[in-house]
Structure 1
Amino acid sequence: MDPARARAMQVALGQAATLAAGDPLPPFFHQLYFWTPEPAERLGRDGHPKVGGVIPDMGLPRRMWAGGRLAFHAPLRLGVAAERVTVCEKAERKEGRTGPLAFVTLRHEVWQGGAACVTEWQDLVYRDDPDPGAVRPVPPVAAADEEEAVERSFDATLLFRYSALTFNGHRIHYDQPYAREVEGYDGLVVHGPLLAQHLMLMAEAALGPLETFRFRATSPLMHHEVGMFCRKGRTLWVRGPDGRMCMEAEA
């Protein structure tokens, strides 16, 4: 696990580049590793690898990272070889209020030194292209009783850097015409894992080393919006500028 990559993430997140070989990896920084590069002909229209391997093809084009859960068993150490094992735990198609949906749950186990250090469940949702005439669902309203809050903004450069560091080719994060015209967003979408990353670091700073963390995306945050990252005890959330809940989490 190359320390240089972790230091680059620190800088992208606005931190000092302090990590070195032997240091424990901050929570969720394992997203920087275990890339699976594919040639251009193996990519879908959205820039992600085509489905049909670990993730079955259920005929729906739009992919979203809906949330996840993590269990931290032991620290991952920088400068030490590690392995990730991935299995598809669930893949099912349902009819929702806005049309067909497919739900996929991947389980990732990250091993180092012969021991499982992190178990992560990644929840993905696939859906059809947006109907321009459909009424958009109303997102939940976020609480305003936090005991700690940090305001954060995300520009196109940061989204590009995070995409590069995590080898995430999804065009909704860097291709504004695609995000608007094909997937129907108001601008570039801030990565759900990037929101979760800030919440995990906030939780760790307040509560100490994390044992578990879960998060769920409820509304996308756009690159032109300012988000409020909030914590009350072990509950955390991201509030959009209009008061909507963008992500909820528990540490």
Structure 2
Amino acid sequence: MRIETQSVQDVMDTARARALQATLGSSPNLNSGDSLPPFFHQVYFWDPKPSKDLGRDGHPKLGELVPDMGLPRRMWAGGQLEFKRPLILGHLAERRSSTAKAERKQGRSGPLAFVKMRHEIWQEGECAVTEHQDLVYREDEGSGSKPVPPVARTDETHSETFSVNSTMLFRYSALTFNGHRIHYDETYAKEIEGYTGLVVHGPLLAQMLMLLAERKLGRLASFAFRATSPLIHHEKATLCWREDGTCWVRGPDGRQCMQAQAS
């Protein structure tokens, strides 16, 4: 049954935030009453479904909040976030979600469906975070040509290397309750969806860029990102930064995996 809006409440559990810190390679030092780092709200507001209500890829079947537009392969293509006030650990919060837009188009690589989700996260009677998620659905691999990834710029003023492995991807999937099999089932990722290995979560790359931006700018007011090419778990990436708030992820072959703008 199609639903238009969804509301989920969750306590900003300190243990879950500390587990994400550890997963990202940092010392788990957050405590109740601290401000939640940007984008850490991804590990809250689970909406668990029984196995019978999951699709072949491990995500909940389409047709409720996210419409079913007849295309099987899902990608989180980007997002825009506005941070209005910090979320506080140990306090109850509510995420209010709706489908802002859904349309199907014909691309060079075949038919595509674009879905934009809107989320508002409320705490203590105020909207703390507004987030838009851009989802893209496409046909199975083999239908149409593969898009050519863009070449990443090389004029960064600061860079950091970033490596992942299958354990990190599994832990991030578990913390975000993301059942998408491309992140932990290598056989499925290769044979069904046509990747060369496990796919690094787009939100995980965005998370690393946001933490880099926070170190450079202080508390963030906004962040927008767009995924342009998948990063595979055996590849080493470079997180790139310029002082105007532009940041991006460069793959080992020079391709651009993600671009973003922070303020």
Alignment TM class, shorter chain as reference? over 0.9
On the 8 A contact 2:108/2:145 being kept in 1, the answer is no
Q: Which residue of 1 aligns with 2:9?
A: none
Q: Which residue of 1 aligns with 2:150?
A: 140
Task: Extract unaligned runs of 5+ from structure 2.
Answer: 1-11
Q: Where do 1:89-108 residues align within 5 Å? A: 89-108=100-119
Q: Where do 1:43-62 residues align within 5 Å? A: 43-62=54-73
* Rounded Cα–Cα distance in structure 1 between residues aligned with 2:22 and 2:105: 41
Q: Which residue of 1 aligns with 2:168?
A: 158
The one-character-per-residue Cα deviations of 1:150-189 (angstroms, maximum 9, x if unpaired) are 0011100000000000000000000000000000001000
Q: Is residue 76 of structure 2 the alignment partner of residue 65 of structure 1?
A: yes
Task: Extract unaligned runs of 5+ from structure 1.
Answer: none
* Rounded Cα–Cα distance in structure 2 between residues aligned with 1:137 and 1:183: 15
Q: Which residue of 2 aligns with 1:190?
A: 200
Q: Is residue 130 of structure 2 the alignment partner of residue 119 of structure 1?
A: yes
Secondary structure, in 3 states, of the residue corresponding to 1:205?
A: helix
Equivalent of 2:234, from 213, 219, 224? 224
Letter of the 1:239 partner, please give it. Answer: R
* Rounded Cα–Cα distance in structure 2 between residues aligned with 1:10 and 1:198: 11
Q: Which residue of 1 aligns with 2:32?
A: 21
The one-character-per-residue Cα deviations of 1:57-110 (angstroms, maximum 9, x if unpaired) are 111000000000000001100000000000000000111111110000000000
So what's the TM-score if we normalise by structure 2? 0.94
* Rounded Cα–Cα distance in structure 1 between residues aligned with 2:42 and 2:241: 23
The one-character-per-residue Cα deviations of 1:20-54 (angstroms, maximum 9, x if unpaired) are 10000000000010000000010000000001001
Residue identity (%): 65
Q: Is residue 56 of structure 2 the alignment partner of residue 42 of structure 1?
A: no
Task: Name the Cα RMSD after superposition.
Answer: 0.7
Q: Which residue of 2 aligns with 1:203?
A: 213
Equivalent of 2:89, from 78, 81, 86? 78
The one-character-per-residue Cα deviations of 1:199-236 (angstroms, maximum 9, x if unpaired) are 00000000111000000000000001000000012000
Letter of the 1:191 partner, please give it. Answer: H
Deviation at 1:118, TM superposition (A): 0.1
